[in-house]
Amino acid sequence: MRIVRTRMLANAATLVHMCLASGKWKLRCITLLLTAVSLAYSKVATIDLGRLARLSNLIVVAEVIAIQEVGGVKVASVKTISLVKGVAECPIAFVAEPTWACDTSAAVVGERVLLYLSPVPQLKKRTMNGQDLTAAASACKLNGVILYVLSHSGHGRIPLKLSGSKWIANVRQGPGTAPKLNANLTLPWSAPIRKAPNGSSFVGLNYLVDRSKVATYPSKARR
């Protein structure tokens, strides 16, 4: 993120020189400059798991089975293991690369994940490499696959690991701070956080699923 921001600010400096040297295009240069500076310092807001669940159209427990390029966009195909929210009648996939500086979208083949997914934006949206997501979604649809993006700029991907017979997710927690599943996704203070023998913290997948259902379908929460 720091490297990307440095590059964007360097580009902004170049725009300053363009503005000073231009006459006819001065207003456009200034607009571009303000946009570059704004993007350089923009960041993803921190939200809680319940809000992420409400914002997402589809929530699934899945396994990443392949990563390939579709229309120049890195796409992760998944095998749906269980459905938490929404309808997934067709095979699904998600964009596995960033669309802007603070987007953490990624995927690992063979990884089991809890995914919070949103539709590909209808308006033209591109990856950081300039590839068109709408075109990639259309190409996937021709093959009977529905393409999604990870909700909240990639933070809707929660890697899981097997502990005994239960699936769990790692949790970060500092002194006086709410537990987090990643840098921008918090859990309630009341979440049943456990400690592993190595000192790391974790929470069970069942809790994450139930919490997500409570946020969207209160009557369907586990009793």
Task: Give 67-97 pLDDT, tens digit per residue.
Answer: 999 999 999 999 999 999 999 889 999 999 9
Question: Is residue 27 predicted with pLDDT exceeding 80?
Answer: no
* Cβ contacts of 205-211, under 8 Å, gap ≥ 24: 205/61, 205/114, 205/160, 205/166, 205/167, 205/168, 205/169, 206/166, 208/49, 208/114, 208/158, 208/169, 208/181, 209/61, 209/82, 209/84, 209/114, 211/49, 211/50, 211/53, 211/187
Domains in the chain: how many in total? 3
Element of type H or E holding 173: none
The string of pLDDT tens digits covering residues 198-208 is 889 999 999 99
Domain end marker among 157, 180, 197:
157
Average pLDDT of the chain? 84
Residue 195, beta-bridge partner list: 201
Q: Is 165 exposed, middle or buried (0-12, 13-18, 19+ CB in 10 A)?
A: exposed
Which tokens go with 34?
Answer: 């303000």
User: Is 104 among the domain residues?
Assistant: yes
87 and 140 part of one domain: yes
129-143: average pLDDT = 93
Domain ranges, residue 215: 159-220
- What is the reported pLDDT for 89? 84
Please, which pLDDT band fits residue 36 given cuts at 50, 70 and 90? very low
User: Is 109 among the domain residues?
Assistant: yes
- pTM (global) more than 0.85: no
User: Is 49 among the domain residues?
Assistant: no
214 and 179 part of one domain: yes
User: Is 191 among the domain residues?
Assistant: yes
